Amino acid sequence: MRFLTALLLLYATTINAQNGFKFDQRMLDCENKWIVASTDSSYAYGFVYLDNSAGLTLSVEGSLPWMMINLL
């Protein structure tokens, strides 16, 4: 029974898994959302918001580890 449950759980996670990042959205469409941005050698993630004085702003919160990038 445990094997069947583990097999179904594995199947459910792989059926919804993404193949990689797609960079097909404009920054304006990402307002008030968390995004992943491509840099030279890694990926950074952050929140896009509209600042009254600076305009559309990306608040970079961190970067993905190089091990995570290789898995994508």
pLDDT tens, the chain, 72 aa long: 888 888 877 777 666 556 677 888 888 899 999 998 887 777 889 999 999 999 999 999 988 776 555 555
In 3D space, the residue among 62, 16, 19 whose CA is nearest the CA of residue 37 turns out to be 62
What span, in angstroms and rounded, lies between the C-alpha atoms of 31 and 8?
37
What's the confidence (pLDDT) of residue 13? 67
Residues in the chain: 72
In 3D space, the residue among 11, 19, 4 whose CA is nearest the CA of residue 71 turns out to be 19
What's the confidence (pLDDT) of residue 22? 81
What's the confidence (pLDDT) of residue 2? 84
> pTM for the complete prediction?
0.61
What's the confidence (pLDDT) of residue 11? 72
